[in-house]
Structure formats: C-alpha cells, structure tokens
Amino acid sequence: MSALLISNGTIVTDSAVFTADLLIRQGKIAAVGPGLQAPDAEVLDASGKLVLPGGVDPHVHLDLPMFGTVSSDDHYTGTKAAAFGGTTTVIDFVSLDFPTFRQSVDAWRVKAEKAAVDYAAHMNLTRFDDAVAAELPSLLEMGITTVKTFTAYNNRLRLDDGSIFKALRMTRDCGMLMLLHAENGDVIELLVTEALASGCRTPEWHARTRPAWGAVESALRAFALSATADAPLYLVHMNTAGEVDMLQYARERGLKVMGETCPQYLFFTEDDLRRPDGAKWICSPPVRSAADNTRLWQGLANGTIQTVGTDHCPFFFDGTKPILYEGKPVAIPGKELGRDDFTKIPNGLPGVQDRLPVLWTAGVGSGKLTAQQFVALTSTNPAKIFGLYPRKGALLPGSDADLVLWDPQKKVKYGVALSHQRTDYNLYEGWELTGYPEKVFLRGRLIVDGETWLGKAGMGEFLHRQPGAPVL
C-alpha cells in the first residue's frame, strides 16, 4: 500500500483542534504534525476540511431475526451504510442461540464475514446456569470482553437480579464489562396484556406499555447491583431523563457505571408514534418526550453520558414493496406485520449512517456540543470503553488509519435518497444538514469518496478485544 500524506487539514480529536498534516503508511498513521515531508507519498490537500477519527458505533444489530422476519441490513449492507456516514468500526451482538458460547460465536462469525468495515461483538447473556458460568471466561479467548443482560423480555432474554449479580462478579474478575438493557419486564407484560384486552393496538401503545419509570427504577437497581459487586456496568440506549438522573447520582458516588444514548432519543417523542406512519418510530425502549430529549442532551454536554451509539436495527416500513439496492430489487417483511397490533411490529430503527451527520448538525452546529465532544462521544470514548483504543478512535502514530475527511460547510438535504441503509424510509427525511463526510478511509484505504462506494464485502476485519478496558 502506497503512502498518503493528508496536508493542511484541521485535525479534530477528543481533546484538541489543530492544523497539521497526517501521514499514512501500511494502513497505519505514521506521523501527525505540521510541515510533514514524504516525497514518496501521494498528497491529498485537506484545506478547509476537518480530519476526524473514523466513528465507532458501539451498538448495532445486523441480520437479527425478530418476529418471523429479520432486520433488513446484514453485515455487508449495514457496514456499507456505516461507512457512508463516517463510521469505520461497529460492534454487533451475538445471540446465545446455541448450547454454548463457542457455537453461538462461530455461527455469528460466519454471518459477519461479509462486513465492509471493521467489527467486534458483544455477547448476549440471556440464560445463566452452572454451564454458562463455567464457559463465560472463554469469551476472552474469542476476543469478546463484554456481555449484555436484560431486565425485560420475560421468558426470553431476561435474567433475574441474582443471576445478573453473579454474572457481574464474574465479569469483574475477568476484566470484562457488562452492558444492561433497563426496563421493568413485569410491568411491561401486565400493561401489554391489559392494552390488548382493551383493544388498544396502535403504535403509541408500544410506548404507553413500556413506562419510563420502569427504565428509571431498573437503571438504579442495576447500578446498585454493580456497586454491590464492585463491577463496572454500561447502561445501553438511555432514553429518559430519569436515567440521566440515576447515572449522575451513581457516578457522583464513585460507582463504576457509564451510559450510552442514541440519536432517536434526542429528537423524537411519543407524538411521532401517533402519526399515520408511527410504526417507523417503534423501537425498544421507546422514544419518550421533549423533556427527556432535553435532559439527554444535557447529559451528553456535561459528560454524564459517555457515548452515542445507534441501536441500528432497521426493518422495512412496508416489506411488501421492493426497493432497489445496488441495482437489485429487495423486499423483506417489516413493520407491516404489526399493522393491526403494535406487539407484532418489529422493534428497531435505521441509524448507523445517520448518527454522525445528524449529531454534527444538531449538536456541534447548534453549539450544544464542541467538535471535541462529538469525537469523544462517537469515536474515542467507545474505543476506550470497549478495548479498541488506541488502535481505533485515535489519530495517533501507530493507530489504524481509519479517518474521515469532513466538510463542515457541506449542506445536504438528508433522507432515504442519500441513505445506504437497506430499508424504505429514513427518520430524518428532508432534514437540512450542514457538515458531512467527504472521504472515508479504512486502514488507509479510501472506501467512500463523496457518493462513490469503493469498499467491498469482506474487507472488514474482526477485532479481537482485550480485557481490562477503563471506566471513563
């Protein structure tokens, strides 16, 4: 691979903004500084552009079976979309579908081989017994250092508090990190049963049967288990103001806890579920209220929340009508499956491409976030928390040359026409954005050039993560 010198760009890291050149050799960053000389290198003039580390999305679901269908992005289409949005690393989830972790991971690895950007995995811990406990440390040999547990989805995914506590002590001893989905499964089951019995079947009832207080109390309960076990915990897809309050309360008392939110929880509310196409906004946990949006933004700005992921898990709005993807018709059953019953609407939204452009406009463009905070939330912090730093999430000598040439002045009218997510709608249809990726590099290779795709299926590498990552 030939050398590349990116000259005159404005480097943006999680801690600084400065003008410098950046030299890439053999897929790695070789040097960063002013006036770099490399006579053998191709030169790319980045005057007027920002140079950012490639985004790290800590929370995606690709090729995920649900409700008799499957999420519409697989490990190729989803990672291609990620690249167009400036994200060069994603972390997917392995379902515990087989008797052992090893069998489950091996099956997932086969599906993930087509990834077009680099990728890693969390392990869903959805049952806990002596056999599972005995095998848990072996995840480290597979390069997986994180497990996800649930306080909802009774009789499917949920673990009881005792099992979560036992698992926390094991993850602590192994240098691993537990992720937790916080909702009250018992309350949800009761409210869903009552809603259906009363004939309440429209999309807004998805939110009404998953009350915010259930998330708040489950989050605090999880933090209490974390504190008692003296084990780190990461709260996924925070969606309500009370969770920010609970995270702040726990961190102020020295607990080893961290949190993530997603763009949908910063912009949308239960009112969107009442629209004629409200099923498009069905995700779990649900979107909440404008007050929750505001408090989540505050949590990002003041450092209470460490990351912005996407929980990318798209479905067609109408899977009976094909769309063209790479010139071929594609139709996958989607949210029309629950046209007459909100409990049958596949839970999930597209977002892996949208995350950086939308957050830049609404966060940096509005002054809610600095450019450095943007990089921290979307790249550097996830890389640190999940054991990928400084290989990922950094613009340092020796780091992978994953970077984005970002045009802060570029204006686009965003929506499904610009999206490479394999579905038939976009949550941000018609939004006017300012600031957009111009070129995206994966390990020094140009994979996105404007609207031209230069990547390919299978060029992504599996990232074998190391235990003992820091609590930020």
Residue 465 lies in a domain: no
List the domain range (segments joined by +) for residue 261: 55-385
Residues 401, 311, single domain; the answer is no
Domain boundary among 385, 402, 436: 385
Tell me how far apart the alpha carbons of residues 4 and 443 are, in angstroms, rounded to a whole number. Answer: 12
Asked if residue 280 has pLDDT above 80, the reply is: yes
| CA distances from residue 181 to 125, 186, 348 in whole angstroms, order as listed | 11, 14, 14
Residues 371, 298, single domain; the answer is yes
- The two three-digit tokens of residue 95, written as one number: 């379902």
User: Taking a C-beta distance cutoff of 8 angstroms, is the pair 346, 65 a contact?
Assistant: no
Tell which residue, 435, 388, 423, 373, has the closest CA to residue 117: 388
Tell which residue, 311, 307, 304, has the closest CA to residue 354: 311
Q: What is residue 342's DSSP assignment?
A: G
Residues 292, 397, single domain; the answer is no
Residue 323 lies in a domain: yes
Residue 74 lies in a domain: yes
- The two three-digit tokens of residue 2, written as one number: 């030939």
Residues 151, 283, single domain; the answer is yes
Residue 8 lies in a domain: yes
Beta bridge partners of 149: 180
Please report where in the chains the tokens 């990318």 appear, as a residue.
Answer: 312
Asked if residue 1 has pLDDT above 80, the reply is: no
Domain boundary among 345, 370, 385: 385
Q: In this structure, what is the dihedral angle of CA atoms 314, 316, 317, 320, given to the nearest 10 degrees?
A: -170
Q: What is the mean pLDDT of the chain?
A: 97
Beta bridge partners of 298: none
Residue 458 lies in a domain: no
User: Taking a C-beta distance cutoff of 8 angstroms, is the pair 215, 240 a contact?
Assistant: yes
How far does the chain reach from its first CA to its final CA, in angstroms?
Answer: 36
pTM: 0.98
Asked if residue 114 has pLDDT above 60, the reply is: yes
Tell me how far apart the alpha carbons of residues 299 and 377 are, in angstroms, rounded to a whole number. Answer: 11
Domain boundary among 343, 360, 385: 385
The number of residues making up the chain comes to 472
Q: What percent of the chain has pLDDT over 90?
A: 99
Q: What is the mean pLDDT of residues 311-330?
A: 97
Residues 342, 418, single domain; the answer is no
pLDDT in tens, 189-216: 999 999 999 999 999 999 999 999 999 9
User: Taking a C-beta distance cutoff of 8 angstroms, is the pair 64, 265 a contact?
Assistant: no
Residue 464 lies in a domain: no
Tell me how far apart the alpha carbons of residues 46 and 20 are, in angstroms, rounded to a whole number. Answer: 10
For 250-316, list the strands marked E by DSSP. Answer: 257-261, 307-308
Residue 469 lies in a domain: no
Residues 353, 432, single domain; the answer is no
**How many domains are there within the chain?**
2
Which CATH number covers residue 21?
2.30.40.10
Residues 232, 246, single domain; the answer is yes
Residues 368, 399, single domain; the answer is no
pLDDT in tens, 342-393: 999 999 999 999 999 999 999 999 999 999 999 999 999 999 999 999 999 9
Tell which residue, 472, 85, 385, has the closest CA to residue 263: 85
Q: What is the mean pLDDT of residues 408-428?
A: 97
Residues 170, 313, single domain; the answer is yes
Tell me the pairing of strands 87-94 and 118-124: parallel
Write down the H helix ranges in 45-184.
77-84, 101-112, 130-135, 161-174
Q: What is the pLDDT of residue 2?
A: 81
Residues 284, 182, single domain; the answer is yes
Residue 461 lies in a domain: no
Residue 259: phi and psi, rounded to 5, are: -145, 160
Residues 198, 69, single domain; the answer is yes
Q: What is the mean pLDDT of residues 108-137?
A: 97
Residues 135, 145, single domain; the answer is yes
Asked if residue 439 has pLDDT above 60, the reply is: yes
Which CATH number covers residue 161?
3.20.20.140
